[in-house]
Amino acid sequence: RRRAVGRAFPLAPAIALLAVFLLGPVIWSVYGSLTSAALTGPGAANPEFIGFENYTTLLTDPDFPNALLLTVIFLLASAVIGQNLLGLALAILMAQAPKVVRSFVGTTVVSAWVLPEIVAAFACYAFFSQDGTLNAVLGITGVEGPNWLFAYPMFAIILANIWRGTAFSMMIYEAALNDVAPEITEAAVIDGAGGWKRLLFVTLPVIRNSISTNLMLITLQTLSVFTLIFVMTSGGPNQKSTTLPLFAYFEAFGLGKVGYGTAIATVMLLIGAVFSLIYIRVLKPGKD
């Protein structure tokens, strides 16, 4: 026990910082969701403890199921499928590509990730708007493109988020693939395993810890995406792209119901926890 305490002692400052700046705000947020806090009126001066009233109201809110469904669609399509699979594919291809190609592709992909979010959001808005770059390119081929932000808002923001965040997954998987022992791959080749079999039965099992970590990180990042959607569509048209972050913002700061908006944010926290537990459960290391 003394040795365990001695090894843990250097971590005490980090644990204290996490408790103050991470756990503390979470606890305060959960408490705020149980109050009648507001921007104006009695709830602004003296918020009262109302228990789970905000959550019961949320469950009967007709706009909540739509925001929840759009959030899950946005999360699965742009992060779990889009960023994750595209990042893995780019990492595998770049591992076998010439140095010039790796440098060009790496710089191109990472440039979208290092841009400030507001700059990336306006760039995507300019790309998908009625008179934007995408329709200009389609016009060269004689195809008249629609107003993507109005006709297909979710499609536009999903593609924008994939473009914005794929570089993170690519770098995670590049580092993971570099740690795969060449002896394992060479043994699989000798046993007659083709490219797809090596990927499915050798490479992916070896890097599954990295897959789990990447999925958790991009899930949490995507759950908190606000600026990209707000700039491109503002949740419209007719709430067709209103995810939970925008729903919480409109309720808390648009209508002044801070406690209610905080309850929505707490639901987002629970969604992130559920996805994290699923990743840990499905991708946990096996006995082999």
Q: CA 210 to CA 168: how far, in whole Å?
A: 12
The per-residue pLDDT for range 193-206, each reduced to its tens digit, is 777 778 787 888 88
The angle subtended at Cα 129 by Cα 126 and Cα 135, nearest 5°, is 100
Mean pLDDT value of segment 84-90: 93
Peptide bond into 47 cis (omega under 30): no
Domain ranges, ordered by start, for the chain: 60-282
The per-residue pLDDT for range 20-37, each reduced to its tens digit, is 888 888 898 899 999 999
Q: Which amino acid is at 75?
A: L
Task: Give the pLDDT confidence score for residue 288 in this predicted structure.
Answer: 47
**Residue 100 CB partners (closer than 8 Å, separation 6+):** none
Q: CA 102 to CA 151: how far, in whole Å?
A: 36
**Residue 253 CB partners (closer than 8 Å, separation 6+):** 39, 261
DSSP 8-state class, residue 35? B
Mean pLDDT value of segment 174-179: 88
- The pair phi, psi for residue 243, each rounded to 5°, is -85, 175
Mean pLDDT value of segment 38-44: 86
Task: Give the pLDDT confidence score for residue 286 in this predicted structure.
Answer: 53
Task: Give the pLDDT confidence score for residue 287 in this predicted structure.
Answer: 47
The superfamily (CATH) of domain 60-282 is MetI-like (1.10.3720.10)
Taking the C-alpha atoms of 207, 210, 215 and 221 in order, what is their torsion angle to the nearest 10 degrees?
-150
The per-residue pLDDT for range 97-127, each reduced to its tens digit, is 888 888 888 888 888 888 899 999 999 999 9
Task: Supply the mean pLDDT for the chain.
Answer: 88
